[in-house]
Chain A
Amino acid sequence: MIPAAFEYYRPTDLSGVIAILQEHGDDARVMAGGHSLIPMMKLRMAEVPHLIDMQDVAGLTGITIGDTITIGAMTTQAEIIDHAGLAEAAPIMREAALQIADPQVRYMGTVGGNVANGDPGNDMPGLMQCLDAEFTLVGPDGERSVKARDFYEAAYMTDREDEEVLTAVSFAKPAGGYAYEKQKRKIGDYATAAAAVQLVKDGGTCASASIAMTNLSDTPIYSDAAGAALTGTSVDADAVKAAVAAMLGDIDPVEDNRGPVAFKRHVAGVILARAIERAWSRA
């Protein structure tokens, strides 16, 4: 478990990062918390001849709360958990972050790394899709933004260009009830199935619903159909059933040590139903 030799860089500004990325292309990678990247390097599954540590890059951390919430890419999961303003404005962030890995990992792991990584097991991507977040990317040609719902192409394949850095995630301050429900085998495990649900209640009916699932396909799954199945209903048993059925039409889990496909589909349904129930009770 020793990585191949690599060159280590520690630039202090974004242009420095981008310059190194431009110079080495595919052979260079940025490192945020390193808690996905370093294990891959140690297993020699990722070859990174030029490693750019972003710990000293200015301007990539911090949480701004307003109608729009913006979180700098280098903000750690621990900082998300500890941020009182965020817990108030978007409580689903804290609920989800608390279910990621363990405290040691969360002190290092960042939001940017979690969403940029492209591992279907990461929890933040589904959450970002549920919140309809946008990712800010900065590259040699300047800045652009991409919707989380359009960002993920396949496992470890995203819309980000090799020379771009993800600098922030932002989303409109969520309204209504929320839940992040995750089944895992143990602390520190990726999800067997996880659901992010955000829904708005108007009188007795559901005005809008947003649903995304984690680790049930090679990308996070935003299920438009599942949200639609709840909208306009009283979120009764039938509506939940319909939402689950719609979600099951969108996911495509594969067998692994967590279990076979039939099990995962069943658990996905149970987890989503529970998430909806909890979100509705909070709406």
Chain B
Amino acid sequence: MKDEVTSREDRIDALGGMGCKRKRVEDARFTQGKGNYVDDIKLDGMLAGDFVRSPYAHARVVSIDTSAALEVPGVLAVLTAADLEPLGLHWMPTLAGDKQMVLADGKVLFQGQEVAFVVAEDRFAAADGVEAVVVEYEELPVITDPFKSLESDVVLREDIAGEGDGVPDGAHGPRKHHNHIFTWEVGDKETTEQVIENAEVVAEEMLYYHRTHPCPLETCGCVASMDKVNGKLTLYGTFQAPHAIRTVVSLISGIEEHNIRVVSPDIGGGFGNKVGAYPGYVCSVVASIVTGKPVKWIEDRMENLMTTAFARDYWMKGKIAATKEGKITGLWCHTVADHGGFDACADPTKFPAGFMNVCTGSYDIPVAYLGVDGVYTNKAPGGVSYRCSFRVTEAVYFIERMIELLAIELNMDAAELRRINFIKKEQFPYKAALGWEYDSGDYHTAWDKALKAVDYEGLRAEQAQRVEDFKAGKTRSLMGIGLTFFTEIVGAGPVKNCDILGLGMFDSCEIRIHPTGSAIARLGTISQGQGHATTFAQILATEIGLPADSITIEEGDTDTAPYGLGTYGSRSTPVAGAATALAGRKIRAKAQMIAAYLLEVHDDDVEFDVDRFVVKGAPEKFKTMKEIAFAAYNQAIPGIEPGLEAVSYYDPPNMTYPFGAYVCVMDIDVDTGVTDIRRFYALDDCGTRINPMIIEGQVHGGLTEALAVALGQEIAYDEMGNVKTGTLMDFFLPTAWEVPNYETDHTVTPSPHHPIGAKGVGESPHVGGVPCFSNAVQDAFRAFGLRHTQMPHDHWRIWKTANELGLHD
């Protein structure tokens, strides 16, 4: 054969398989402006939809006058709740088991809520139409504080208030008050409280993880196109879960699922913002059915920030107990979760607070308790996992702050406190106090590597000197050392306990090998920038021995891709990546039979070697995968069907648990509150590494979003429920200028239950980054008596901290 002279190493390199820094195949089109996003879609006769939105956070809608709008040239229709009601579409189900108004049904519950949908010939006419709709409101008392909400007589959700005393149960069980959504409790409350009461040392604090927003570069939008001739609805949209959207659309519209085609084209970032279903989708579908024409709806930036899914807004009261030596004995947390006007969180059904119960973190904590109360307020709905797996950011921030607080209480070094409490390597698989079983980890090795890399001792010495200089009046700058050791829980998830709207959270891959030895693989996930077309081809290249460059990866079209639950919560690699590997192995199994036939030996006498099957003990006798592929289509092989295809639906046996060790070194100008990140070191262990370059890119992106959240990014409301941060002038989106140079590093602890040992990395840097940046700020002031100060640490809040500590006197 012609490649006999090629070495095994060369053959491996030629595949571009797992472990190599393959360049992203997506980037050619993205960097040349040739991507195909939803707003690039233009269909014949396409109309535009735009929303009339409420200026008030809480008001009764007295009347809606659409007559002037209908006079605007180009405006064709204005939909209100009254128009949707006969179709039963004026409300829609949320992913959290609640329901949400599609268009204001008698009242509005947050500023920016959808009140009417104007359909026009183009977006300009639609915008003029929106201006011309006259809505009369009667203002109602506004509640923006979840604690006050639980005590208020004001009923936010009249539709579920019930009659007389008591409130009807919600989707997650009994409700305590008309503005209460659910109570979720995990762990052993009684024992935990006893341990805390009798503990030698306890640290206690109320931590507020402020409301923020994923703010993807591309906002949400869709194009709905109802073909009245064949009864088929095509819905293009910015969907992180296209298959689930198809099912939801079918359930709420009554259109049979085979008549709905959902397509997610290129997506410009999601970060959780594009998981849920929004009124814009429903209105576009209805408008297309009514007009018989395609209808496009695209949010503008303000609409995106003000109305589609926010993240966080958790008030976490924590208590952590330890011995005098620093051995943690118990952890207690009670969270009040502000969900806004409707409960539209995107969590697996059985987990109304997501995986917040991974809040024991990386530590061996014998007993713990977590209680979460969800509350309605006059804010936008959402509560999505912004670059994290279901509230893991909240959990990790919680434990990593509590550890720092405990270190202060113990007057101990926070790095050392972590070390003596880590779960040990030999304890894995480790059953955590709040129920999860961590698959694998080697925390001590990672921690030691990180501290050594940054010269931790040296940094502490420098910091001590800085404090002295500050006290002596030689400098006005303080130095903070931020530490974080995080454990994530990703890859949701096992169908036995993870579903969304009853849909099990498996994922899928279908592979077709073409006769000439190239292939197409389709998955149930959808890339939003993660580089799936690059990495999934690498997994397959290694599994089936065909070059990654010869494998097309396709996702996002429900007519062609196998069913899957989509991309969020770092689940693509852990779940769809596993399906890909297993489907690849099915291909290989059939290829083995074909090879054996061609080589005239028994099936067991050939073995796979990089890109071929060889006869055991006779490596000169082989058939390459390319040859086998051709044979599959051109030879009649007794007992074997023609063709070479496989499909795999993967139900993961467990979650995966990536972890990492981060260190941030920051200088803080005490007089202005300005921060300067001098150094950021990030060690990630995501198990088997598929593409180190993509991992690095993911880490950079996640850290940058972490920096944003920790240092300024927030959705803030005033007391009237007005959004104060509705544009990018005030909503902090860092640019290259604000971002430091990140140092990345890794250890490799494969997942024992995943077919290729990979754990997922897209969200780790965000999850671990936020507490690391925050801890750096807080650590700078530790020597001056600071215990805790709430995020975001923007200039004025840092200044306020310094001011309250008397550092300006």
Tell yes or no: A192 within 8 A of B by CB: yes
Which residues in A have their C-beta under 8 angstroms from that of B725?
257
Q: B residues within 8 A CB of A263?
A: 673, 795-796, 799-800
Partner of B738 from the list A4, A186, A192 (CB cut-off 8 Å) is A186
> Interface 1/0s, chain A 100-123, versus B by CB < 8 A?
001000000000000000000000
Verify A4–B128 contact, CB threshold 8 A.
Answer: yes
Give the residues in chain B near A237, CB-CB below 8 Å: none
Query: Is A208 engaged at the interface, CB distance under 8 Å to the other chain?
Result: no
Chain B residues contacting A266 (CB-CB under 8 Å) are: 671, 799, 803, 808
Q: Which residue of B lies closest to A258 (CB)?
A: B796
CA distance A259 to B803 in the complex (A): 13
Residue interface mask A251-276, B partner, CB < 8 A = 1: 00000011110110011001100000
Judged by a CB distance under 8 angstroms, whether B124 is at the interface is yes
Interface check B743, CB cutoff 8 A:
no
CB proximity to B under 8 Å, residues A178-195: 183, 185-190, 192
The verdict on B413 contacting chain A, using a C-beta distance below 8 Å, is no
Count of interface residues, chain A, beta-carbon cutoff 8 Å: 24
Q: Which residue of A lies closest to B724 (CB)?
A: A257
Interface residue B735 (Cβ < 8 Å from any Cβ of A): yes
User: Within residues 159 to 202 of chain A, which ones have a CB less than 8 A from any CB in chain B?
Assistant: 183, 185-190, 192
CB of A44 closer than 8 Å to a CB of B: yes
Q: Identify the closest chain B residue to A264 (Cβ).
A: B796
Do A187 and B796 touch across chains, with their CB atoms under 8 A apart? no
Residues on B with C-beta less than 8 A from A4 are 128, 131
Stretch at the interface among B342-350, B641-649, B726-734: B726-734
A216: min CB distance to chain B, Å: 14
- Among B301, B737, B796, point to the contact of A259 (Cβ < 8 A): B796
Cα–Cα, bound, A267→B123 (Å): 44
* B732–A186 CB distance below 8 A: yes
Determine which residue in B724, B725, B730 has the highest number of CB atoms from chain A within 10 A of its CB, and name it.
Answer: B730
Residue B17 interfacial (CB < 8 Å): no
Chain B positions within 8 Å of A1 at CB level: 300-302
Contacting pair A2 B124 (CB below 8 A): yes
Inter-chain CA distance A183–B796, complex, in Å, is 11
CB neighbors of A among B700-756 (8 A): 712, 716, 724-725, 729-730, 732, 734-735, 737-738
A window 62-119: CB within 8 A of B: 102
* Shortest Cβ gap from A193 to chain B (Å): 9
Q: How many A-B residue pairs have CB under 8 A?
A: 63
Q: Are A5 and B799 in contact (CB under 8 A)?
A: no
Contact with A along B795-809 (1 / 0, CB 8 A): 110011001000010
A270 to B808: give the CA distance in the assembly, Å. Answer: 11
Q: Is the CB of B131 within 8 A of A259?
A: no
- Which of A102, A183, A260 contacts B674 (CB under 8 A)? A183
B127 interface residue (CB < 8 Å to A): yes
For A270, the chain B residues whose CB sits under 8 A away are 671-672
Are B735 and A183 touching (Cβ within 8 A)?
A: no
Q: Does B794 contact A (CB under 8 A)?
A: yes
Q: Mark B679-693, 1 if CB is under 8 A from A, else 0.
A: 000000000000000
How far, in angstroms, from A262 to B671 measured CA to CA in the complex? 12
* Complex interface residues of chain A between 28 and 66 (CB less than 8 A to chain B): 44
Give B299's nearest chain A residue, CB to CB.
Answer: A1
In the complex, A262→B800 CA distance in Å? Answer: 9
Given the known A-B contacts A1-B300, A1-B302, are A185 and B795 also in contact in the complex, defined by CB atoms under 8 Å?
yes
* B131 contacts A257, C-beta separation under 8 Å: no
Residue of B nearest to A262 (CB): B803
The CA-CA distance from A131 to B795 in the complex, in Å, is 30
In the complex, what's the smallest C-beta–C-beta distance from A157 to chain B, in angstroms?
22
For the complex formed, measure the closest distance between the CB of A65 and the CB atoms of chain B, giving whole angstroms: 31
B217 to chain A, nearest CB (A): 15
* B residues in contact with A185, CB < 8 Å: 712, 732, 794-795
Structural contact, A186 and B734, CB atoms closer than 8 A: yes
Question: Are A267 and B735 touching (Cβ within 8 A)?
Answer: no
Q: Which residues of A contact B800 (CB under 8 A)?
A: 263
B732 touches A183 (CB 8 A): no
Q: Give bound CA distance, A260 to B737, whole Å.
A: 26
- Which among B127, B716, B735, B808 is the interface contact of A186 at CB below 8 angstroms? B735
Collect the chain B residues with CB atoms within 8 Å of residue A2's CB. Answer: 123-124, 127
7 example contacts (A-B, Cβ-Cβ < 8 A) are as follows A2-B123, A4-B128, A102-B735, A188-B735, A257-B724, A263-B799, A270-B672
Instruction: Tell me the B residues contacting A by CB distance below 8 Å.
Output: 123-124, 127-128, 131, 300-302, 671-674, 712, 716, 724-725, 729-730, 732, 734-735, 737-738, 794-796, 799-800, 803, 808
**Other contacts beyond A187-B735, A259-B794, A262-B803: 14, CB < 8 A:** A1-B301, A2-B124, A4-B131, A5-B124, A183-B672, A185-B712, A186-B732, A187-B738, A188-B735, A259-B795, A259-B799, A263-B796, A266-B803, A270-B672
Which 4 A-B residue pairs are closest in the complex by CB-CB distance? A259-B796, A2-B127, A1-B300, A187-B737
